[in-house]
Chains A and B, each alone.
With several copies, the nearest count.
Chain A
């Protein structure tokens, strides 16, 4: 088990119902995609927020990563919808 800081933005934040949290990760969680699947087991809010898994963007330590990227060494993992700035 390791702990990591998760931060959420936009409708991912609204659906999960919090801005950020520290969670403990089982060793079976290796990639960003594994993390999404793990979170979906934590309750309905997470399930609803992460339902359309392929649109969820992941950033590790403030850099974009693909879902197959390993999360080992991450201090901060952010989950958010596609960006709409500019």
Chain B
């Protein structure tokens, strides 16, 4: 008997959504619901040339894994995958993927949502904006709304 399958990857290259989803239910009949979240780089109305994503190697993986371990227990997930890219990301490209599988739909929704909220506020990644002319802009500021989103998961 193995526990829920957690897979965490921090990588430069893009990911394959379909393959990650297919892997969740392959060879098993207890998965009834799979929710995926893909976070993409927006072009900010044409003003953004790219994002430069800096991360803390080692801690980035460890922190996402801690979030995932909490999520599989709390929501009774069958499998959970989280992939976060780093380096230069162009508008329209993928930044992050979370895939949660469970027998029932709400657990899969909540699991993926929970992971994103905690990943946003606790995984050591930082975004720097690069203008359309290639010059470095400012660092993206953290949002209070992200802290609020995380805090709604606190149990009473």
Asked if A80 contacts B124 (CB within 8 A), the reply is yes
Asked if B125 contacts A83 (CB within 8 A), the reply is yes
Asked if B95 contacts A86 (CB within 8 A), the reply is yes
State in angstroms the CA–CA spacing of A47 and B126 once bound together.
21
Of A5-13, A21-29, A31-39, A66-74, the segment with at least 4 beta carbons within 8 Å of chain B is A5-13
Q: How far is the CB of A69 from chain B (nearest CB, A)?
A: 16
Asked if A85 contacts B56 (CB within 8 A), the reply is no
A84-B140, A85-B96 given as contacts; is B119 within 8 A of A78 (CB)?
no
CB-contacts of B129-145 with A (<8 A): 139-142
Neighbouring A residues of B96 by C-beta, 8 Å: 85-86
State in angstroms the CA–CA spacing of A9 and B116 once bound together.
21
Main secondary structure on B side of the interface with A: mixed
Asked if A85 contacts B142 (CB within 8 A), the reply is no
Asked if A84 contacts B39 (CB within 8 A), the reply is no
A64-B122, A78-B59 given as contacts; is B142 within 8 A of A86 (CB)?
no
Q: For the complex, is B55 an interface residue (Cβ under 8 Å from A)?
A: yes
Pick from A11, A64, A84 the residue with the most CB of B within 10 Å.
A84
Q: How far is the CB of A43 from chain B (nearest CB, A)?
A: 22
A10-B128, A10-B139, A11-B139 given as contacts; is B58 within 8 A of A85 (CB)?
no
Neighbouring A residues of B120 by C-beta, 8 Å: 83-86
State in angstroms the CA–CA spacing of A62 and B123 once bound together.
11
State in angstroms the CA–CA spacing of A72 and B96 once bound together.
35
Asked if A80 contacts B56 (CB within 8 A), the reply is yes
Q: For the complex, is B48 an interface residue (Cβ under 8 Å from A)?
A: no
Asked if B141 contacts A84 (CB within 8 A), the reply is yes
For residue B116, which residue of chain A has the nearest CB?
A: A86
0/1 interface trace, chain A 48-82, chain B, CB 8 Å (1 if under): 00000000000100111000000000000010111
Q: How far is the CB of A17 from chain B (nearest CB, A)?
A: 15
For residue A14, which residue of chain B has the nearest CB?
A: B139
Asked if A83 contacts B39 (CB within 8 A), the reply is no
Neighbouring A residues of B116 by C-beta, 8 Å: 86
Nearest 4 pairs of A and B residues by beta carbon: A85-B125, A82-B142, A10-B126, A62-B59
Question: What is A's interface to B at a CB cutoff of 8 Å?
Answer: 7, 9-11, 59, 62-64, 78, 80-86
